Amino acid sequence: MGENSRVVSEADFEELKNRLKLIFDADPEQYVNDFAIKRYLRAFKTVDLAFQHILKTNKWRKEYGVKELTTENEIVQNHLSSKKALVLKHRDMQGRPVIYIPAKLHNVNERDIDELTKFIVYCLETACQKTFEEVVDNLCIIFDLTDFGLHSWDHSLVKNLIWLLSRHYPERLGVCLIYNSPGIFQGCWTVIKGWLDENTVSKIIFVNSEEELCKTQRIVTQYCDLTVIVSDLLENSNNMHCICVGQQKSSKRKFTLYYSRTSTLTSFHMYL
């Protein structure tokens, strides 16, 4: 599930590609491209395991009806209107598509786990289709934990997401930003961390305040341009209002973005 940290040997790649060619020639619908083949080799490490998991994923995609999970699908439409997850129009600073998830909009007692899992698959599919695989073939996922409560904690849904990323979207996670996590989330994180491998854990970054998110050089330059996030969130809400206030501070101008009602991130302090 982590970054492209393992180099794939050319010999393994050619062996797996030749083995898959027999399958692809017999059934063109089984085809996956070279980038996918390399992702499976990085994730599963051996030719045999990568081969098995590619075939398992192709079988799952057909049985699960992944191709039918479009904006025409009623389940997808219902969850898109809830804005529990958004695939942002813009990418992060590495060119990765961004999935933004405001946890406060989720209530474990009011969800249908099967329908919500289908919506997760739709979001993953949409984000993956936005990648420029020749440059970067993984994603940025932002969990906004502002106003996170026990009603937001859904261990079954989290396990489903981990299972999807590890089994059917291997090596697609580039970075996961956990924004503004409250103390109550630490117990949840202890549980989640036990479900992840070390490589994946290393890709999860905690950012615990607006100023840290905006002012930390590493976060701003490596991950997200906050003005882009704000603009995408505003575009996705009819009831959101944004006011930008500027003032001098030392040699820099401080801009505070306030936005309200359906917004989750209540303010940003950007030093330009």
Together in a domain, 102 and 25: no
pLDDT tens digits for 176-230?
999 999 999 999 999 999 999 999 999 999 987 655 555 443 444 455 665 566 5
Residue 91 lies in a domain: yes
Q: Across residues 90-100, what is the average pLDDT? A: 89
- Cα separation, 7 vs 61, whole angstroms: 27
In terms of residue numbers, what domain contains 149?
73-229
Does residue 245 surpass a pLDDT of 70? no
**Can you read off the two tokens belonging to residue 244?**
């930008």
- Provide the 10 A C-beta neighbour count for residue 18: 9
What is the model's pLDDT at position 263?
Answer: 40
Region 157-181 average pLDDT: 96
Q: What is the pLDDT of residue 144?
A: 93
Q: Is the domain of 19 the same as that of 102? A: no
- CB under 8 Å to 129, separation ≥6 — which residues? none
Residue 261 lies in a domain: no
Give the β-pairing of 267-271 and 242-249.
unpaired
Separation of alpha carbons 103 and 209, rounded Å: 16
Q: Are residues 35 and 89 in the same domain?
A: no
Predicted structure pTM score:
0.80
Q: What is the pLDDT of residues 144-154, one digit of tens each?
A: 999 999 999 99
Quick check: is 257 in a domain? no
Q: Does residue 36 sit in the same domain as residue 112?
A: no
Residue 208: per-residue pLDDT: 76
Higher per-residue pLDDT: 168 or 262: 168
* 1 alpha-carbon distance from chain centroid: 11
